[in-house]
Structure 1
């Protein structure tokens, strides 16, 4: 049975943001591991166990980076959202897929955020807050994000007066 996909998908440009984020995160991880290795060698702690541990950690970071890069198209395919009259739906995951349904009456406030990678691609992130948790839709066009935010707020206000 096919998993039903929600209607709205992020723009293709979000892939570039994810790629840049992955590169920066991986580089930071490698720099930290190199720094730990240098410190261990400098303080004379380096032995065969450090070699095994650090080699394993470098391998894990490398495999995680390569697999995340390879899976980016699948991640893009299954990250979706939808707004109905009564609820906001969030969908994510390519191996373990999930759809989260948030009733409009549970939404407390909405934020828009834009980091440097999103700004470079003219994208914006919407953050929907409820009492229990936070839900994010990253990578919307700026106009679309502002329209979606306004529509959610309009629906929240309508539900408050019912």
Structure 2
């Protein structure tokens, strides 16, 4: 069965943001592993700490490398779509999911921009409902502001119709 993809793809620059985030994760994981190995060497000399650290480092590197290699697939399936009555979010490349948020359930919308998004001139939208919040990260700044304004106008129209 073919899983239908939503119409709006993220900008290609989001891949660079994901790569930078991946690099930060890798540096932190290796730093923690290095501290653990250093503590083994200087303080405890327990063999279980040494082997546990090696297992941690091995699994962490494998998981992060898989995460890095799957960035193109993640990009392909990370999409959104604004329809007449709802906003849809799609993600996942192995386990795909599409979430539809009815416009009348949206309470407010925030914009956010971390350092990596700012470097790539990208912005994220956070759509809040009573139950949870949904993120569209990696939109171009102008697109994010236009989409935010468009959603607000559509919410007003839906509220006026009710």
TM-score normalised according to structure 2 size = 0.95
Match of 2:24 in 1: 24
Match of 2:35 in 1: 35
Q: Which runs of 5+ in 1 are unaligned?
A: none
Structure 1 residue 47, shift from structure 2 partner = 2.2
Q: Deviations over 1:100-130 (max 9, x none)?
A: 0000011011011111111111111011111
Question: Equivalent residues in 2 for 1:57-68 (5 A)?
Answer: 57-68=56-67
SS at match of 2:4: coil
Q: Deviations over 1:63-106 (max 9, x none)?
A: 01110111000000000000011000000000000000000011
Match of 2:124 in 1: 125
Match of 1:72 in 2: 71
* 2:80 and 2:88 in contact (8 A); partners too: yes
SS at match of 2:70: helix
SS at match of 1:144: helix
Q: Which runs of 5+ in 2 are unaligned?
A: none
SS at match of 1:43: helix
State the alpha-carbon separation in 2 of the partners of residues 32 and 158 from structure 1. 52
State the alpha-carbon separation in 1 of the partners of residues 15 and 157 from structure 2. 35
Match of 1:110 in 2: 109
State the alpha-carbon separation in 2 of the partners of residues 153 and 33 from structure 1. 47
SS at match of 1:38: helix
Runs of 4 or more consecutive aligned structure 1 residues displaced over 6 Å after TM superposition: none
- Establish whether residue 144 from structure 1 lines up as the match of residue 143 from structure 2: yes
- Establish whether residue 134 from structure 1 lines up as the match of residue 133 from structure 2: yes
How many residue pairs get aligned? The number is 161
